[in-house]
């Protein structure tokens, strides 16, 4: 399971069966250029693999006013 | 993915540039894009005073930090819109950021100006985002003018510019198409306006802000639901995903080949500007639109209070 802290929504989402950043973005219906993804202080490109139990930040980049 | 520059592990992938960058090389890419924008569009020099509009979002704070790192003479301007549970948070981010980086900041409070945005929403029968934008532009220009600044810089990025161009094109709004661009020269009553981030997408500024440790105000404005620009950005996000580089081509194609057609038309249908009777800002009618909005809010608020009382 991967825990996602979704910003700016402020939601915490638990995803099962996702092993890569791109899989997480697909589940959240986001394109790679629509959000930055980070693990602790490290930015991750969409091809990076994730390990079960990890927590990541997904921050949408589109400003809405 | 490897960094295009040093071959270490990349942390940012940029399909539109056929590139990826590591955490050390990415800020160099960002800096060069800003340098290119300033140089090619002749935005400003190191001898000029620059007023930077700061909302507290990633773009304006990233711009402020980058201009500081490039050694420019900058002052920040934040407008506190007076929106409950929102404006105070944005203002705190801006103030903390400027304290942390030893940057000069001016804050204008709309409450003290007699035009807090909640009252605009309550008493003006027009979309609040349009009126808020107009009020902010008015004060940005006024403060830059009165403060003797040479130029006003905003954090508008490529996505903002593409969304605006798209909206203007959908309406074939020739007046807006005639003056859209990353550099608007000074004119009678107006300071020069520049957008040094116009070559960079929101994704690119978000990565820069993260890598630089900038604490941003990311919560959307509570009044902005359904804003058309947000929907246009989503459409363009899909186009860009299918065909990386489309945004840049659309916008730069307009600047090179589309825009030159519009000023000619505006010269024949343009209006003459004179100083506003009340505030001195340029206007095509005796009293400028912001002073008229302020008067309407005052009148409608008094009527509402009389009805309740």
| CATH classification of the domain holding B206 | 3.40.50.620
Distance from C-alpha of B237 to C-alpha of A52, rounded to nearest angstrom = 30
C-alpha distance from A12 to closest chain B C-alpha (Å): 16
* Separation between Cα atoms, residue B188 and residue B274, nearest integer Å: 9
Low-confidence ranges of chain B (pLDDT < 50): none
Q: How far is CA B290 from CA B107, B109, B212, in A?
A: 19, 15, 37
Q: Which residues are bridge partners to B192 per DSSP?
A: B151
Rounded to whole angstroms, the Cα distance separating A36 from B115 reads 36
In a domain? residue B14: no
Quote the DSSP letter at residue B141: H
Do residues B188 and B273 lie in contact, with contact meaning Cβ atoms separated by under 8 Å? yes
Minimum distance, in Å, between the CA of residue B21 and any CA atom of chain A: 10
Between helices B202-211 and B26-40, what is the axis angle to 10°? 130
pLDDT at B158: 97
Query: Which segments of A1-65 does DSSP mark as H helices, in order?
Result: 21-27
Residue B298 in any domain: the answer is no
B305: in domain: no
Element (H, E) at A2: strand A2-7
User: Taking the alpha carbons of B92, B94, B98, B104 in that order, is the dihedral positive or negative?
Assistant: negative
Residue B296 is assigned to a structural domain of this protein: no
- For residue B12, is it within any domain? no
Return the pLDDT at B228. Answer: 64
In a domain, B304, yes or no: no
Residue B154, domain member (yes or no): yes
B251, B95 contact by CB (below 8 A): no
CB distance B227–A43 less than 8 Å?
no
Beta carbons of A33 and B237 less than 8 Å apart: yes
Mean pLDDT of all residues belonging to chain B: 93
* Domains parsed from chain A with CATH numbers: 2-60 (3.10.20.30)
Tens-place pLDDT, residues B99-118: 999 999 999 999 999 899 99
A3/chain B closest Cα distance in angstroms:
20
**Predicted ipTM of the assembly:** 0.96
Check residue A65 and give its pLDDT.
53
Q: How far is it, in rounded angstroms, from Cα B233 to Cα B162?
A: 8
The pLDDT tens digits of the residues spanning A3-34 come to: 999 999 899 999 999 999 999 999 999 999 99
Query: Does B185 fall in a domain?
Result: yes
The whole-number pLDDT of residue B265 equals: 66
Residue to test with chain B: of A38, A39, A46, A63, most B Cβ within 10 A? A63
Domain count, chain B: 1
Contacts of B252 (CB under 8 A, 6+ apart): none
Instruction: Tell me what pLDDT residue B230 has.
Output: 80
- The per-residue pLDDT for range B189-211, each reduced to its tens digit, is 899 999 999 999 999 999 999 99
Q: How do strand B73-80 and strand B105-109 relate by DSSP bridges?
A: parallel
Domain of B78, in residue numbers:
26-218+248-271
What pLDDT, on the 0 to 100 scale, is given for residue B219? 83
């Amino acid at each position: 399971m991967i825990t996602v802290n979704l910003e700016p929504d402020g939601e915490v989402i638990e995803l099962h069966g996702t092993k890569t950043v791109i899989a997480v973005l697909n589940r959240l219906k986001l394109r790679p250029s629509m959000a930055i993804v980070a693990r602790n202080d490290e930015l991750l490109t969409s091809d990076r693999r994730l390990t079960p139990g990890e927590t990541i930040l997904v921050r949408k980049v589109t400003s809405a006013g | 993915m490897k960094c295009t520059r040093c071959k270490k592990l990349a942390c940012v992938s940029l399909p539109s540039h056929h590139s990826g960058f590591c955490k050390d090389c990415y800020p160099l890419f960002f800096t060069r894009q800003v340098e290119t924008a300033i140089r090619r569009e002749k935005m400003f020099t190191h001898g000029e005073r620059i007023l930077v509009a700061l909302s507290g979002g990633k773009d304006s704070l990233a711009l402020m930090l980058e201009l500081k790192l490039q050694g420019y003479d900058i002052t920040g301007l934040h407008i506190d819109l007076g929106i409950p549970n929102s404006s105070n948070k944005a203002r705190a981010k801006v103030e903390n950021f400027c304290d942390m980086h030893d940057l000069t900041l001016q804050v204008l409070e709309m409450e003290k100006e007699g035009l807090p945005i909640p009252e605009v929403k309550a008493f003006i029968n027009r979309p609040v985002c349009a009126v808020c934008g107009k009020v902010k532009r008015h004060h940005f220009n006024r403060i830059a003018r009165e403060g003797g600044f040479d130029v006003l810089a905003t954090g508008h990025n490529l996505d903002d510019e593409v969304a605006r161009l798209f909206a203007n094109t959908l309406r074939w709004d020739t007046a807006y198409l005639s003056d859209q661009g990353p550099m608007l020269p000074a004119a009678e009553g107006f300071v020069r306006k520049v957008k040094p981030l116009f070559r960079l997408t929101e994704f690119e500024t978000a990565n820069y802000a993260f890598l630089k440790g900038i604490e941003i105000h990311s919560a959307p404005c509570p009044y902005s639901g359904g804003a058309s620009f947000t929907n246009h950005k989503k459409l363009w996000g899909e186009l860009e995903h299918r065909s990386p580089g489309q945004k840049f081509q659309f916008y730069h194609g307009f600047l090179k080949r589309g825009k030159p057609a519009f000023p000619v038309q505006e010269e024949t249908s343009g209006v003459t500007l004179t100083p506003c009777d009340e505030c001195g800002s340029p206007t095509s009618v005796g009293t400028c639109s912001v002073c008229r909005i302020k008067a309407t809010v005052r009148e409608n608020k008094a009527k509402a209070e009389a009805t309740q009382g």
